Amino acid sequence: MAARQLQIDKSFLENLYKRYNHSKYVHPDPLEIVLRYDIIRDREIAALIASSLAYGRVAQIIKSVASVLDQMESPADFVQNATKKSLQKTYGNFKHRFTTSDDLVAVILGLKAVILKYGSLEECFKAGMSSSDSDVIPALCRFVQTIRGADNGNYNSMLPSPPKGSACKRLNLFLKWMVRRDRVDPGGWTCIDSSKLIIPLDTHMFRIGTAFGMTTRKQANLVTAREITDAFRAISPDDPTKYDFALTRLGMEHGVGVVDHLQTHFMQTARTHA
């Protein structure tokens, strides 16, 4: 049975969702730090920083996110009162893989400018939305450009530019955390319909999406992320990213063997119903 002949159905996904979509499966994940914040204006700052650093080994991600957010009793208040000098003093030695203290300082100052102008990150995102947008990507482009401001032309490892074709896994993860609300995703934003979210495309989801024939593309870019999302949208029109956490956890549990695991499952199911 070839990997791309696998067929997925809603009942399988729902069972997977019931099994894995629970707070006890969050650890280890930077989301566990975001979940500490009950106030939305704090959570959105924490979520953007945590998701922006969500690349590399998960243990190091959590350590890096904690090292940033532990300095902020209230992330929103901290950002509003920040100056370049104070940030350089606090985070001068910060380093997370390719992300430097300069990257972090630039992003925090960009967040400050956004909050001073719009009042919150959500209001900034809302200002860039259009009813004609089929998904969140056009507004996400405007959102990133606004945060980056005058620094928009320079490379910053924390905020990739959607127009350049990146899958924007981390930014889509941020939106998923802030828009969806269930036992895992905390939610908080009301300006975006969950039907317009895009799958945060990581290696696990790319492998699974390929196995299920959701895409035939070889690169995990934005086009691929949209194709896989469209496949899930056909199953769950109002909430295409609903199964992302459960499938990602399944991928983490079985690693590169996840496709073999799924093949075995569906072959056994086929025999049972034969």
- Looking at residue 173, its amino acid is L
Half-sphere exposure of 28 (CA within 13 A, CB side): 12
Q: How far apart are CA 227 and CA 233, in angstroms?
A: 10
Supply the pLDDT for residue 68.
99
CB 199 within 8 A of CB 232: yes
Unique residue bearing structure tokens 């380093």: 95
Q: How many CB atoms lie within 10 A of CB 163?
A: 12
99: β partners: 96
Q: Domains of the chain: which residue ranges?
A: 3-272
Distances (CA, A) of 219 to 210, 215, 223: 11, 10, 9
Chain CA centroid to CA 96, Å: 18
- Per-residue pLDDT reduced to its tens digit, 66-124: 999 999 999 999 999 999 999 999 999 999 999 999 999 999 999 999 999 999 999 99
pTM over 0.75: yes
Rg (CA), the chain: 19
- Per-residue pLDDT reduced to its tens digit, 172-205: 999 999 999 999 999 999 999 999 999 999 998 9
More confident residue, 172 or 264: 172
Peptide bond between residue 28 and the one before it cis (omega within 30 degrees of 0): yes
Q: How far apart are CA 260 and CA 58, in angstroms?
A: 24
Q: How far apart are CA 140 and CA 74, in angstroms?
A: 25
CB 10 within 8 A of CB 30: no
